[in-house]
Amino acid sequence: MRETSIALVTGANRGIGYAIAEGLVKHGLTVVLAARDPSAGPAAAARLGARPLVLDVTDPASVRAAAAQVDDWYGRLDVLVNNAGIAGRRDAQTPGAVDLDAVREVFETNLFGVIQVTEAFLPLLRRSGDARIVNVSSGTGSLAWMTDEQHRFAVRRTSAGYPVSKSALNMLTVQYAKALAGERIKVNAIAPGACDTDFARGLGLRLERTAEQGAAAAIELATMADAPTGHFRDDAGTVPW
């Protein structure tokens, strides 16, 4: 990556997104800390030496305005981290008792939001010459892990929403990686593991990891020389799709 690489992280005012932004600042990147809450972004950005930007991934006008602002500031983007994500109303996602609105809400952020943001920033990424897109997925989106009875995700409560949105995000990662393969834009997904964030508290998981540990694979894929494309990783290596 060039020294003055420009990175944007969505949902970066707290949790894993904040830790990714912090890691990218430490690597010397110029970081745009995107947050939907106009009052939360500036304080978080000031703590890191990042630049705040309002961006709600589900709002087309907000996404368009954010891309125009980054174009105005820098004229390009080198790293896009699609981190913003929600768990949604868990009880409303149980197969057999699904409230479709709850599932739609999860997909609006975790899948359609990623498509919307990626499409809006693609013209700026195309001007990079060595661009990276990192999608923050989840091990719960791994069909291989979910169908392995020995794996701890396989014994979790079932859901027609969140893990399905992350499996779809994984396929989206593969599709963009293939589509952009000839354009020096690398597209990968990461699984942060069960990290102690607002999102994960209350999910009944053993949260053995910090947000910083969850951020590590995203930071590596965003900054490493000769990054792969179309991979799904955690910080131990490849995650099976």
Q: Report the catalytic residues.
A: 162, 166
The answer to whether the beta carbons of residues 177 and 230 sit under 8 Å apart is: yes
**End-to-end Cα, the chain, rounded Å:** 27
Tabulate helix, strand, coil % of the chain (nearest 5): 45, 15, 40
- Is residue 58 near ligand NAP by the rule CB under 6 A? yes
Tell me the sheet residues that pair with 131: 185
Q: Give the span between the Cα atoms of 180 and 186, in whole angstroms.
A: 7
The answer to whether the beta carbons of residues 120 and 64 sit under 8 Å apart is: yes
- Is residue 183 near ligand NAP by the rule CB under 6 A? no
User: By rule CB under 6 A, what string of x and - marks binding of each residue 119-138 to ligand NAP?
Assistant: -----------------x-x
Residue 180 CB, nearest distance to ligand NAP (Å)? 21
The answer to whether the beta carbons of residues 82 and 133 sit under 8 Å apart is: yes
Residue 65 CB, nearest distance to ligand NAP (Å)? 13
- Is residue 229 near ligand NAP by the rule CB under 6 A? no
Q: Residue 67 corresponds to which amino acid?
A: A
CB nearer to ligand NAP: give 117 or 227: 117
User: By rule CB under 6 A, what string of x and - marks binding of each residue 69-108 to ligand NAP?
Assistant: --------------xxxx----------------------
Q: Which residues bind ligand NAP (CB under 6 A)?
A: 10-11, 13-17, 35-37, 40, 55-58, 83-86, 109, 113, 136, 138, 192, 194-195, 197-200
